[in-house]
Amino acid sequence: MLYVDTSVLLVYTLTQGVETERVPATEAFFRRISTGSLLGATSFYALQEVHIFAIENTPDFPTGAAYGKAALEKILALPLLILPLVSRTERKLHADKFTALRDATDLPHATAAAVYGCDTIVAYDEHFRAISYIIPYKT
């Protein structure tokens, strides 16, 4: 099962205009998930980040909330498994594994991927390369 990071979800939903070089590969990736040839998962944490990104990158809250909702609807229409937020206990158990992550915001993604048995993290975020010896990283 592939863990789909926020950076990939954003290209699929909100940043297509600026991530033009990544759009074809991202759309092909999600087509494979849609047809069932790949099993993908993401987390509530990633969904929250997508929504927050929309709010922070629009001129006002109502517009951002509308874009965020539309992005979430597009993501939730996919046959992705939605992983819950990991418990405090699980975060503690796995924290030492992922000390190589330079960006603390990547820790919840790596922990969810580990707890729920994902065998690869798919992201455009190079930080995950630092833990690829634990969970392989693909772009």
Number of residues assigned to the chain: 139
The Cα diameter of the chain in Å comes to 42
Q: What is the pLDDT of residue 124?
A: 95
Q: What is the pTM of this model?
A: 0.93
The CATH class that applies to domain 2-138 reads alpha beta
> Band of the pLDDT at 43, cuts 50, 70, 90?
very high
- CB neighbour class for 83 (10 Å; exposed up to 12, middle 13-18, buried from 19): buried
Cα–Cα distance for residue pair 90/12, rounded to 1 Å: 29
Average pLDDT over residues 111-129: 93
Average confidence score pLDDT of the chain? 94
